[in-house]
Amino acid sequence: MAIAPITGTLRRKIITDITLGFGCGFVLAFAYWEFEHKPIVAKREAYYKQLKAQKEAEDSV
Residue 26 counted as domain residue: no
Residue 14 counted as domain residue: no
CA 40/CA 43 separation, integer angstroms? 5
Residue 21 counted as domain residue: no
pLDDT score, position 1? 65
pLDDT, mean of each 10-residue run, the chain (61 residues): 74 93 98 98 98 94 71
Ramachandran class of 3: left when φ > 0, alpha when ψ lies in -120 to 50, beta otherwise? beta
Residue 12 counted as domain residue: no
Residue 52 counted as domain residue: yes
* Number of compact structural domains in the chain: 1
Residue 53 counted as domain residue: yes
pLDDT score, position 27? 98
CA 1/CA 25 separation, integer angstroms? 45
Residue 9 counted as domain residue: no
Full residue range of the structural domain in which residue 61 is found:
35-61
